[in-house]
Chains A and B, each alone.
Chain A
Amino acid sequence: MATTTASLTITSNDLVGDALSLASSTQLNKAGTTIGLDQTTGMARVYLTATTQLDIFPVLPATPAGQNLQSWVYICNKSLDETEFITVSIGATTIGLLYAGDFMWMPWSQIAAKADIEIAPSTGAAAAGIHVDYTCMHQGITYPTSGD
């Protein structure tokens, strides 16, 4: 098994009255175990020039291999223009907006046929072109069967 660690720090001296210095770290394990995750899509970087909403991982079928197992999703907007953002959605529900330099890290249960992870660049971002990084570390993903 592999040992993979995800750590987060959030710091600020002036966001609230007390200095903020939050640190969290976790090892990425298979669901309900202490066995490390051993699969990943690898870190992808795409350059998007349209506002089209895209699935960044294989579309979830009726019985996903990873449903209710443990998966983690990382997405980062690599733009340097503060006005450019991407909209991140899960199925038909919008999660939030990632502006230039923003990242997200969240678990993903891969609920069948409705929880695809999608991104869509803003109009300005698409016009200028935007780089987005993303990866998934997981316990299983169903890849589409080849049509050839």
Chain B
Amino acid sequence: MATTTATITLSSIDLLSNELALTTTSTLTTAGTATGVTQASGLSRKTTGSFTPDSAAGIQANVLYRAGDYLADGANKVYIKNTSTTVAEFYTVVIDQEVIGRLYAGDWMFMPWIATSGTKQVFTVTFASTWAAGETWTFDGITMTCPSATLAAIALEVDKLNYPNWTTTHVVGEATVIFKARYASDATEVVYATADATIVSANPGTAAITSAAVGSASESDITIRPSVHTDMTYETMLIHQ
């Protein structure tokens, strides 16, 4: 196990009539134990602002951490710093849809993170009827080309591909593929998935979508929104279970 310590110092000689000199040190452990946390995202740095192609249409929020990627209810800790030196520039930090606060130039924050995810949408595609080698099925921007007329081989080929927004599972020999969304989202995605698949088959083959289960949105993704279009830079690190 790793040993990681975080120390905060708050100091002022003139905020109050009594000097403020608070120091607290915490050893970062996994939830409910004395075992040190062993995972971290690493300290990262990103510049937001003028490079964004669509910045003219509005300032874009940046997703820092998606809850579905981390252990819920863990003793996770998030560090964020606005490294801007322009006094008036700030990042607005949001968890789910709740505004936490603003980080102005040079400000940092360190907070726990519960990482409560939603549920991921799931559906099953079943290949049936008559397909021919060379025919295609397109979904999520990815096109599968039938290696043969065998339905199980087609399903296997679908499973081999990498989809930007979905993961797949497949049992060898079956004509079905189960798709699972990479991220939790709300129910409207089912309609999108059904409409998005495109079949190009002259025979015609079918690829029915069944067993669709709607998802629900994450409850604690962390996003930040810069206050200006011009370049601003933030640093962040997640220490997690």
Binding site for B on A (CB under 8 A): 2-16, 20, 22, 24, 26-27, 29, 31-34, 36-38, 40, 42-43, 68, 70-71, 74, 76, 82-83, 85, 87-88, 90-99, 101-109, 111, 114-115, 137
Q: How far is the CA of A11 from the CA of B79 in the complex (A)?
A: 13
Q: Which partner residue on chain A sits nearest B83 by CB separation?
A: A24
Which of chain A's residues have a CB closer than 8 A to the CB of B92?
A: 109
Please tell me if the beta carbons of A10 and B12 are within 8 angstroms of each other in the complex: no
Please tell me if the beta carbons of B112 and A4 are within 8 angstroms of each other in the complex: no
CB < 8 Å neighbour of A97 from B22, B75, B87? B75
16 other A-B residue contacts (CB within 8 Å) besides A93-B96, A107-B103? A3-B12, A10-B5, A10-B79, A13-B3, A16-B42, A20-B43, A26-B106, A32-B88, A36-B15, A82-B32, A82-B34, A93-B220, A99-B32, A102-B75, A107-B101, A109-B101
B171 within 8 A of A: no
Q: How far is the CA of A74 from the CA of B6 in the complex (A)?
A: 14
Chain B 76-112 near chain A by CB (<8 Å), digits 1 or 0: 1101010000011010110111111111101111111
Q: Chain B's interface: helix, strand, loop or mixed, by majority?
A: strand
Minimum C-beta distance from B52 to chain A (A): 22
Please tell me if the beta carbons of A107 and B102 are within 8 angstroms of each other in the complex: yes
Stretch from B23-31, B147-155, B160-168, B187-195 forming part of the interface with A: B23-31
Which of chain A's residues have a CB closer than 8 A to the CB of B40?
A: 15-16, 20
Q: Which partner residue on chain B sits nearest A110 by CB separation?
A: B101
CB contact list, B191-205 vs A, under 8 A? none
Which of chain B's residues have a CB closer than 8 A to the CB of A99?
A: 29, 31-32, 75
CB < 8 Å neighbour of A106 from B4, B87, B111? B111
CB < 8 Å neighbour of A96 from B34, B37, B104, B112? B112
Bin the interface of chain B by size.
Answer: 35 or more
Binding site for A on B (CB under 8 A): 2-16, 20, 22, 24, 26-29, 31-34, 36-38, 40, 42-43, 73, 75-77, 79, 81, 87-88, 90, 92-93, 95-104, 106-114, 116, 219-220, 237, 239
Q: Chain A's interface: helix, strand, loop or mixed, by majority?
A: strand
Q: Which partner residue on chain B sits nearest A87 by CB separation?
A: B114
Q: How far is the CA of A82 from the CA of B219 in the complex (A)?
A: 26
Q: How far is the CA of A68 from the CA of B93 in the complex (A)?
A: 12
Please tell me if the beta carbons of A101 and B8 are within 8 angstroms of each other in the complex: no
